[in-house]
Amino acid sequence: MYQLASRTSEAGSIVEVDGIRIGEGFTVIAGPCAVEDELQIEAAAKGVAAAGGALLRGGAYKPRTSPYSFQGLGAPAVELIAQAGRRHGLPPVVEALSIEQLPLLAEHVGMIQIGARNMQNFALIQAAARTGKPLLLKRGPAATLDELLYAAEYALLEGNRSVVLCERGVRGFDSHTRNLFDLAGALRLKELTHLPVIVDPSHATGRRSLVVPLTLAAAAAGLDGAIIEVHPEPARARCDAAQAIDLPEFSDLMARLAVFAPSKVASAGCR
Amino acid sequence: MYQLASRTSEAGSIVEVDGIRIGEGFTVIAGPCAVEDELQIEAAAKGVAAAGGALLRGGAYKPRTSPYSFQGLGAPAVELIAQAGRRHGLPPVVEALSIEQLPLLAEHVGMIQIGARNMQNFALIQAAARTGKPLLLKRGPAATLDELLYAAEYALLEGNRSVVLCERGVRGFDSHTRNLFDLAGALRLKELTHLPVIVDPSHATGRRSLVVPLTLAAAAAGLDGAIIEVHPEPARARCDAAQAIDLPEFSDLMARLAVFAPSKVASAGCR
Amino acid sequence: MYQLASRTSEAGSIVEVDGIRIGEGFTVIAGPCAVEDELQIEAAAKGVAAAGGALLRGGAYKPRTSPYSFQGLGAPAVELIAQAGRRHGLPPVVEALSIEQLPLLAEHVGMIQIGARNMQNFALIQAAARTGKPLLLKRGPAATLDELLYAAEYALLEGNRSVVLCERGVRGFDSHTRNLFDLAGALRLKELTHLPVIVDPSHATGRRSLVVPLTLAAAAAGLDGAIIEVHPEPARARCDAAQAIDLPEFSDLMARLAVFAPSKVASAGCR
Amino acid sequence: MYQLASRTSEAGSIVEVDGIRIGEGFTVIAGPCAVEDELQIEAAAKGVAAAGGALLRGGAYKPRTSPYSFQGLGAPAVELIAQAGRRHGLPPVVEALSIEQLPLLAEHVGMIQIGARNMQNFALIQAAARTGKPLLLKRGPAATLDELLYAAEYALLEGNRSVVLCERGVRGFDSHTRNLFDLAGALRLKELTHLPVIVDPSHATGRRSLVVPLTLAAAAAGLDGAIIEVHPEPARARCDAAQAIDLPEFSDLMARLAVFAPSKVASAGCR
């Protein structure tokens, strides 16, 4: 059984990313699917910061199902998001696809994401953990909760205790949503582990209209946060346009989330 | 395509059950898995009413996977729950397993439930619809949203417009939860249909500790209600003991739900 | 645990349908999705008999997802298939959707089918069992093997030991096939139960081109038979046209199946 | 859409591995889950060769769900399997878990496997393809057929046309089998692509008793081969003991497969 990942006491862990404490209150990570250019990431960062987001997401290396899809800008995107994040006080969260990308990411970003496709790419997880950076580990679409916790254990065993887990939908059978958002699984995770657990309603559903209510649901249920795709102009997004919300929607969401903040501790889903 | 079930305007339908309006605010149906005896259902009804529940659930005919499991008390249970409901002002919701049970149910209960196992038992749905009673139609564990709406259409075509849909978990692969609770699917349903949509976190997860946070999540997301297993003494429940919450927990849940009531209309998950 | 359905010895049960022994060799049931008219069922019966099929399938009451789809001809179809079957020596297999249809079916058909949608409609299963007719019980798309065996147990407990199980695909996530054909599950069933186990590659995949190879696979693996949709003119079929094979294809399949007959006993998948 | 992987003509591709032609007849790859020591891999190789197996499998680097499980012997195992393969004329097939393992594998093995967990580890696929070695690409447990073909396209675009696809079970909901073996999906793959398609019944089911009948099924259905876990002493296997067959069972399987060889071309599942 996993050991370092197991919950052994009432108190959950706090993962700190450049001063942002994940595991305390409801933390919102927001930004575009991919960094597309300087203006786009600057507009996104500005809007996210103004609305009260805590961290800035944005893909530099995109793991695309098809080799013919936009693969991200690569290294230049890492620097663009780092600059935008710095200007607006938002630590960047960027996904790593291979070990060779880790040094650049470790230098520039606040948190390194291991995506769902690589949840059992243990070599990558171990190398990412060894950078010492906080990690955001996403659940794979066919992964059980135990498998996710074992994957986290690979990172924890490297001596890096800053691991945040993310539910982003498992493979389902209904084409109305891209994946099947497993909110109950995320809550159950909180019972099994002390690590913070957040959700990604954007990738879980692939549907803009569901992002706001599901984020409110996650907050009401007592989870630790959400990572949300926000784009200054969703219609022009180079990837995942159908799931990105725009800045006014994001701002409205943040205002509505404020309701849940005070009752956060009391409404913890795990007991 | 389904027609009568389709959403064609902003306004959703209200389904009225003996004066209770489902589709307005967040309606809570609560009670034991099965009616076990007069004392049990009376204690449950009293506690549910005191906490603010709106309808009383309780099985008379139980569709059990195994023929060797407790099958419910049958007809006597219908009368017991009807009496308990009357004493406490809670319309009873009872599941029908076959056409021959419908006349007795139609006489005594406020709402007839078609369970997940019978979601495509169209003969039963049609006959239940013809009683004129409001129906609670649960989604089958392998049913797509469209299949659920087509099943509802079978009822609506009989001239009975009082149909409430209920998400209660689809078949998933992780043994930590009994089924995979599809909250995003329930929200998507609200976009597709004008019918009220509620959730059943008890059957969806089979896990007591998840019932409260998931009910809060459903309310925050803007759904229309929940059906919850509450037992005066969960440890002695003759079925599904692991998922029933007790009366103090239920009372606490109802108090916490109050937060969401005012913002209910504004937080509608469908747009 | 199920008891009457459990395998307790090496020997499997034989279910006899008007002289056809299912559980011995590889039995093929074939015919159209629905009985459409006298000419169609006559042509189908003639072709199926000529090619060596053992029983004749054909729907009279069709459980259709949508109430707007063709629902079958009803009672007249029962008589048409009975006549065609009699002319060609093929006992008919017809699905029952409700208890009230059972007397007519019991009078005219060789075997009553309980479809996947009704696998846990226990009232129907019990009533069908009480007719004394052999039953073909199909696995529901979300049913575990144990749930299927418990459903069979409901029939066996009525004193009817003539139950044949049928795998017809479980809910999967890939749209290339309608369902996910669980051949390994069917083989595992043979280890768990003494009842004969057949497959329905037509409904499992919804794809004509896969029916022949999957039937050969089931025979090679040592299963007890298959139920196959065959239509004299697939392009004109009133339901499930995409999955029906035509009579020449069926004839070719039967010829190729002959290879497996001798080694049938030796290649039993269960030990 | 994928292009290089698409089937554009009747004829399928042949992938040649040190003289063995995969895509012609039914090719069997066999051997232990992991190389454990010299005696074990020698005994396995000897038995596999004697029975008529074509290639030798054996893990050097094991991708284990838990970091506390046996992780394989690493580099020494690569050399051991290479020697055993050479002694018995069996090209070795070994899985790569990270890019840095590729040079050693390219030097010593006949075919490099990309495992299910890394099916969308595109950096690894591309680097493996660039070694020029034939690749065995396994389908991930949540991967659609199209996603598998897109993953193959990443390899093909590197100029390496020697890619064999392998179905090894998708995530299912029944605990009787480890995964859900998707034979119909494997057959559908043959219609979509010209690449050879084999199956892995050992990992798909996790159950020794199902390996033989499912391999026979795959051969009867017209697929291109199977990769099977065979261990000289399954009870002592250091990983996946429950799914390994022993050498006499393997020898018996090979004898029974001989029946299908002549009809191989005629029984192609795709048309």
pLDDT digits (tens, 9 = 90+) for B134-148: 999 999 999 999 999
- In chain B, residues with a C-beta closer than 8 Å to the C-beta of C150 are 65-67
Q: Quick one: average pLDDT of C58-63?
A: 96
DSSP state of D187: H
**Residue C153: which of B67, B120, B170 has the nearest Cβ?**
B67
* Count helices and strands in chain B by DSSP H and E runs: 9, 10
Residue C10 has pLDDT above 60, yes or no: yes
Coil, strand or helix at C230: strand
pTM beyond 0.90: the answer is yes
Give residue C269's pLDDT. 35
**Residue C140: which of B2, B98, B142 has the nearest Cβ?**
B142
The answer to whether the beta carbons of residues A147 and A123 sit under 8 Å apart is: no
CB contact under 8 A, C173 and A175: no
- In chain A, residues with a C-beta closer than 8 Å to the C-beta of C173 are 171-173
Q: Which residue of D has its CA nearest to B141?
A: D173
Give residue D247's pLDDT. 98
CB contact under 8 A, D201 and C184: yes
Write out the E strands in chain B.
Answer: 15-17, 20-22, 27-31, 55-57, 92-95, 111-114, 135-138, 163-167, 197-199, 225-229
Q: Smallest CA–CA separation between D172 and chain B, in Å? A: 6
Q: Smallest CA–CA separation between B172 and chain D, in Å? A: 6
Give burial (CB, 10 Å; 0-12/13-18/19+) of D106. middle
HEC string for D218-248? HHHHCCCEEEEEECCCHHHCCCCHHHCECHH
The answer to whether the beta carbons of residues D135 and D119 sit under 8 Å apart is: no
Distance of CA D179 to the CA centre of its chain: 16
Which pLDDT band, with edges at 50, 70 and 90, does C87 fall under?
A: very high
Q: Which chains, if any, share at least 3 CB pairs under 8 A with chain D?
A: A, B, C
The answer to whether the beta carbons of residues C263 and D259 sit under 8 Å apart is: yes
Give residue B134's pLDDT. 98
DSSP state of D158: T
CB contact under 8 A, B175 and D175: yes
Residue A135: which residues within 8 A CB-CB, separation 6 or more? A111, A112, A113, A114, A125, A128, A129, A155, A160, A162, A163, A164
The answer to whether the beta carbons of residues A28 and A230 sit under 8 Å apart is: no
The answer to whether the beta carbons of residues A137 and A164 sit under 8 Å apart is: yes
> Is the backbone of residue D142 left (phi > 0), alpha (psi -120 to 50) or beta?
alpha
- In chain A, residues with a C-beta closer than 8 Å to the C-beta of C172 are 173
Say how far apart CA D244 and CA D231 lie, in whole Å: 6
Residue D188 has pLDDT above 70, yes or no: yes
**Alpha-carbon dihedral angle through residues C242, C243, C246, C250, given to the nearest 10 degrees:** 160
**Residue A117: which of D97, D121, D141 has the nearest Cβ?**
D121
Q: Smallest CA–CA separation between C153 and chain D, in Å? A: 19
Enumerate residues 38 to 67 of chain B having a beta carbon within 8 A of any beta carbon in chain C.
63, 65-67
What number is the ipTM of this complex?
0.95
CB contact under 8 A, D175 and B173: no
- In chain C, residues with a C-beta closer than 8 Å to the C-beta of D269 are 209-210, 212-213
Per-residue pLDDT tens over the stretch D24-39 = 999 999 999 999 999 9
Q: Quick one: average pLDDT of C22-50?
A: 98
Give residue A266's pLDDT. 32
Say how far apart CA D126 and CA D132 lie, in whole Å: 10
Enumerate residues 185 to 244 of chain A having a beta carbon within 8 A of any beta carbon in chain D.
none
Say how far apart CA B69 and CA B65 lie, in whole Å: 8
**Residue B137 contacts A where some CB pair is shorter than 8 Å:** no
Q: Which residue of B has its CA nearest to A217?
A: B217
**Residue D97 contacts A where some CB pair is shorter than 8 Å:** yes
Per-residue pLDDT tens over the stretch B72-104 = 999 999 999 999 999 999 999 999 999 999 999
Q: Smallest CA–CA separation between A146 and chain B, in Å? A: 9
Give residue C47's pLDDT. 98
Which pLDDT band, with edges at 50, 70 and 90, does B271 fall under?
A: very low
Token pair listed for B55: 């309808």
Residue B209 has pLDDT above 60, yes or no: yes
- In chain B, residues with a C-beta closer than 8 Å to the C-beta of A220 are 213, 216-217, 219-221, 260
Say how far apart CA D251 and CA C155 lie, in whole Å: 42
Token pair listed for B67: 């023929």
Give the CA count within 13 Å in the CB-facing half-sphere of A86: 8
DSSP state of B59: B
**Residue C222: which of D144, D188, D213 has the nearest Cβ?**
D213
- In chain C, residues with a C-beta closer than 8 Å to the C-beta of D168 are none
Say how far apart CA C195 and CA A54 lie, in whole Å: 60
Token pair listed for A271: 């007991």
Give the CA count within 13 Å in the CB-facing half-sphere of C264: 18
The answer to whether the beta carbons of residues B91 and B20 sit under 8 Å apart is: yes
Q: Which of B101, B121, B168 to mutate to test the interface with C (most CBs of C within 10 A)?
A: B121
The answer to whether the beta carbons of residues C102 and C125 sit under 8 Å apart is: no
Q: Which residue of A has its CA nearest to D169?
A: A142
The bridge status of strand C197-199 relative to strand C55-57 is unpaired
CB contact under 8 A, C220 and D220: yes
Q: Which uninterrupted H or E stretch holds A248?
A: helix A247-257
Per-residue pLDDT tens over the stretch D240-262 = 889 999 999 999 999 999 887 54
Cα–Cα separations (whole angstroms), residue D12 to D2, D159, D193: 16, 18, 8
User: What does the mean pLDDT of chain C come to?
Assistant: 94
Say how far apart CA D199 and CA D22 lie, in whole Å: 13
Q: Which chains, if any, share at least 3 CB pairs under 8 A with chain C?
A: A, B, D
- In chain A, residues with a C-beta closer than 8 Å to the C-beta of D140 are 142
User: What does the mean pLDDT of chain B come to?
Assistant: 94
The bridge status of strand D111-114 relative to strand D92-95 is parallel
Q: Which residues pair with residue A34 across a beta bridge? A: A59
Q: Which residue of A has its CA nearest to B170?
A: A172
Give residue B241's pLDDT. 87
Which pLDDT band, with edges at 50, 70 and 90, does B195 fall under?
A: very high
Residue located via tokens 């093909």: D156
pLDDT in tens, chain A (271 residues): 899 999 998 889 999 999 999 999 999 999 999 999 999 999 999 999 999 999 999 999 999 999 999 999 999 999 999 999 999 999 999 999 999 999 999 999 999 999 999 999 999 999 999 999 999 999 999 999 999 999 999 999 999 999 999 999 999 999 999 999 999 999 999 999 999 999 999 999 999 999 999 999 999 999 999 999 999 999 999 988 899 999 999 999 999 998 875 433 333 333 2
DSSP state of A165: E
Residue C260 has pLDDT above 90, yes or no: no
DSSP state of B157: T
Residue A214: which residues within 8 A CB-CB, separation 6 or more? A181, A183, A199, A201, A204, A205, B183, B184, B187, B221
Closest CA to C250 of C267, C220, C226: C226
CB contact under 8 A, D220 and C222: no
Q: Which residue of A has its CA nearest to B223?
A: A213
Q: Which residue of D has its CA nearest to A154?
A: D67
Per-residue pLDDT tens over the stretch C156-166 = 999 999 999 99
The answer to whether the beta carbons of residues C226 and C239 sit under 8 Å apart is: no
Say how far apart CA B198 and CA B187 lie, in whole Å: 10
**Residue A142 contacts C where some CB pair is shorter than 8 Å:** no
- In chain D, residues with a C-beta closer than 8 Å to the C-beta of B175 are 175
**Residue C117: which of B67, B121, B153 has the nearest Cβ?**
B121
Amino acid at A244: A
- In chain D, residues with a C-beta closer than 8 Å to the C-beta of C184 are 177, 180-181, 201, 204-205, 207, 210, 214
| Phi, psi dihedral angles at C240 (to 5 degrees) | 50, 40
**Residue C123: which of B65, B66, B97 has the nearest Cβ?**
B97
Say how far apart CA B264 and CA D82 lie, in whole Å: 67
CB contact under 8 A, A171 and C173: yes
Per-residue pLDDT tens over the stretch C176-220 = 999 999 999 999 999 999 999 999 999 999 999 999 999 999 999
Residue D231 has pLDDT above 90, yes or no: yes
Enumerate residues 146 to 185 of chain A having a beta carbon within 8 A of any beta carbon in chain D.
146-147, 150, 153-154, 157, 170-171
